[in-house]
Chain A
Amino acid sequence: MVEFGSYLLGGVTSGIIYALLALALVLIYRSSGVVNFAQVGQATITCYIALTVQLRTGSWLLGLVTALIAGVLLGLIVQVFVLRPVRRSDPAGALIASFGVLIALQGVAGLVWSGEFRAFPQPFPDTPLVIGGAALPFSVYNLVTLIAAALLVVFLAWLFNRTDVGLAMRASAHNPEVARLSGVRVGRMIALGWGLAGLVGALAGVLVAPLTLLSPTSFNVLLVFAFTVAVVGGLESPVGAVAIGIFTGVVLSLVTGYTDATNTPLVALALLVISLILKPEGAFGHRATREV
């Protein structure tokens, strides 16, 4: 029973991280109709930057802040210099270009930081929290992840639903032509969406890196989990991404806990395949009318 509790909470924590990455994918999909497969490549780079800053300054927080800023900038750069110039008549090209970016970024990570596995510092104890002599089934690290993710989600909800920029971003995503006719600078809103996604992805990276060792390709499997979450949750739906993320995290954590870790990618694959068979356009998604 204690085991079950800790698997469950571990699952919630990793699920939140998958959800954050999925959220990054959803943010971009909604603003520009592209699934940004380079997202984990961007997160890898920002993690290495955070690691470098931490090693130089000894400050985890400074590393985090640098990673977040770098995440935003990298998202903007990828959008402006890669995705924007791709012809609109070539949707396959946009997908392929995002993989090109992923490949290039992994190469850059290997070139600058080498292909060796690096340990990423864990500033928060990942041992059961003890309050009044009783060991609780979660750690400070679990709590911090939860709070950080919750703050971020609240911030995004506020931004999208309560601010002018958010309204402009939603309008640009739903109907760019009407948005432009209303005076919205749609190009900027799309870039902003990529920047926000970069921020979310960077946070997810810094939170997940202590759990795995960091290498140029160590986030690849996370891309699969995040994509699974985004698809099962519907690529259009931030709420779906978070809910399904936590669910997936728990399932995978129970599988890892009760059987063994080699099953985890297979279970993720099975989840994805089953959900695509049942609902080819995602569980929370609307039936697409734009593409036939």
Chain B
Amino acid sequence: MAALFRIPGVRLIGSLLLVIVGYRIVYLWINDNVDPLMNFWIAQGAVYATALFGMVILVGLSGQVSLGNGALMAVGGYGFGVASLAWGLDPFPAVVVSVLLGIGFGLVVGVIAARLRGPYLAGLTLALAVGLPAIANRFPAALGGEEGLFVDVSYPPEQAVTAFGVRLWGPYDLDFPVERWQAWLAGALMFATLFVAVNLARGRQGRIWRAARDNPVAAALCGVNPANAKVLAFTVSSAAAAAAGAAFAQLLGVVSPGAFALGLSLSLLVGVVLGGRSSLTGAFIGAAILVALPQLVVQAAGSGGWDVRVTDNLPTILYGLLVVLVVILAPGGIVGSLTSGWRRLRHRG
């Protein structure tokens, strides 16, 4: 299966089929059969996964540690907010606007970043994560200041949406929960991003990124321009972050500096490290952990009668400790450890 995916044509069509079937049949079926709260979590997970695909390409494949992807999400979120509020665009065109904005922004930052060594890049992206959301405070008229922009959640369309005669979603009835709609949208963006990410990561470009990361000198001798590879990785990851930011805006109903604070960027780093730095599958696992861990702590707190202070801070502490432990004991993350464990088992047997 994995081997088949290395053949370009098979990969393109195979991944397209996978994404369509995965979204239209599996994902939407799940959405239709769970309660609104669960759909909210699913939407949240889809937002994280979308951004984490970008992190896998940036941090894992091209080896650029970024703490700024939360800020890149903010770019997408505000793009979506302005496009739908000020310009009155529908959700889908608004997403296109925010992704284009993400690409443009990623290109600019990527060009600067490609020349930097690890710690400098990490610091630059950190400064972005802290500084960029502050722009909203600078332009309160256009961007809503500290309060943020209230994004119209654009309730599900009146009719079932079809494309090429295939029903994408709907119909809805009067008690159609808004969370299901949010999960639909976030899921659509997640699968679209996955499609792009799989085709880039599994193909020639993936090899180029790895080569430029592991041995830039050798890669340059083989005709690969390591700087270009890094810029492309940054741009793709920024586009993914922007898509995630648009979905996030939809989900929260508001884009504000607080929603895209440093904590979000750090969460993305946690997610990509725990799942497995260079694994797209790991991005799903990382997203699941980011959604589930706080919920588990809340539940444990409920049954254990813990203080709110514990509930508020325990997930953060666990994230930090898990990141440290994973980096020390299993740098490949959960997926990396599973695959190397599996390989060892096969070699023995």
Residues of A within 8 A of B (CB): 29, 34-35, 37, 82, 85-87, 90-97, 99-108, 110-111, 114-115, 217, 220-221, 223-224, 227-228, 230-231, 235, 262-263, 265-266, 268-269, 272-273, 276-277, 280-282, 288, 291-292
Determine whether the beta carbon of A273 is less than 8 Å from that of B124: yes
B119:A86 contact, CB within 8 angstroms = no
Q: Are B321 and A100 in contact (CB under 8 A)?
A: yes
Contact A103 B320 (CB under 8 A): yes
CB pair B127 A100 closer than 8 Å: no
Using a CB–CB distance below 8 Å, which chain B residues touch chain A?
59, 63, 65, 67, 112, 115-120, 122-124, 126-128, 130-132, 134-135, 137-138, 216-217, 262-263, 266, 269-270, 273, 277, 309-310, 312-324, 327-328, 331
Give Cα A97 to B134, complex, Å.
27
Task: Please tell me if the beta carbons of B117 and A291 are within 8 angstroms of each other in the complex.
Answer: yes
Alpha-carbon separation in the docked complex, A108 to B123 (Å): 23
Q: Is the CB of B112 within 8 A of A276?
A: yes
Query: Are the CB atoms of A110 and B119 closer together than 8 Å?
Result: no
Which residues of B have CB within 8 Å of A281?
117, 120
Contact present for B309 and A231 (CB under 8 Å) = no
B132 touches A87 (CB 8 A): no
Q: Are A85 and B309 in contact (CB under 8 A)?
A: no
List of B residues within 8 angstroms of A273 by Cβ? 112, 124, 127
- B216 nearest in chain A by CB position: A292
Q: In the complex, which of the residues B118, B309, B324 contacts A110, with contact meaning CB atoms closer than 8 Å? A: B309
Which residues of chain A are within 8 angstroms of B115 by Cβ–Cβ distance?
276, 280
Q: For chains A and B in complex, what number of residue pairs have CB atoms within 8 angstroms?
A: 158
* Chain B residue contacts of A111, Cβ below 8 A: 309-310, 313-314, 317
- Could you tell me the distance between the alpha carbons of A17 and B335 in the complex, rounded to whole angstroms? 43
Tell me if A96 and B323 are in contact (CB < 8 A). Answer: yes
- CB–CB B323/A100 < 8 A: yes
B320–A95 touching, CB < 8 Å: no
Which 8 A/B pairs are nearest by Cβ-Cβ distance?
Answer: A104-B320, A100-B323, A107-B316, A107-B317, A269-B131, A103-B320, A35-B119, A110-B313
Evaluate whether A95 and B217 lie within 8 angstroms (CB atoms) in the complex, with A104-B321, A269-B131 already known.
Answer: no
Do most interface residues of chain A lie in helix, strand or loop, or is the interface mixed? Answer: helix
Contacts known (A104-B320, A262-B134); A272 close to B123, Cβ less than 8 A: yes
Besides A92-B65, A96-B327, A227-B127, 4 other A-B contacts (C-beta < 8 A)? A95-B65, A97-B327, A265-B131, A269-B127
Q: How far is the CA of A281 from the CA of B137 in the complex (A)?
A: 31
Cβ of A86 and Cβ of B327 under 8 Å apart? yes
Q: Return the chain B residue nearest A274 by Cβ.
A: B112
Knowing A104-B317, A263-B138, say if A96 contacts B130 (CB, 8 Å): no
Once A87-B331, A95-B118, A99-B269 are accepted as A-B contacts, the answer to whether A104 and B324 lie under 8 Å apart by CB is yes
Residues in A neighbouring B269, C-beta threshold 8 A: 96, 99
- In the complex formed, the residue of B with least CB distance to A116 is B309
Residue of A nearest to B128 (CB): A269
One of A97, A220, A280 near B120 (C-beta < 8 A) = A280
Inter-chain CA distance A11–B110, complex, in Å, is 32
Listed by A's residue number, 29 A-B pairs whose Cβ atoms lie within 8 Å are A86-B328, A90-B331, A91-B118, A92-B59, A92-B63, A93-B327, A93-B328, A96-B65, A96-B323, A96-B327, A97-B323, A102-B320, A104-B317, A107-B319, A110-B313, A115-B312, A217-B262, A228-B123, A228-B127, A231-B120, A262-B134, A265-B131, A266-B134, A276-B115, A276-B116, A276-B124, A280-B116, A291-B118, A292-B217
Task: Determine how close the nearest CB of chain A comes to the CB of B48; give it in whole angstroms.
Answer: 16
Q: Which of B63, B130, B135, B315 contacts A224 (CB 8 A)?
A: B130
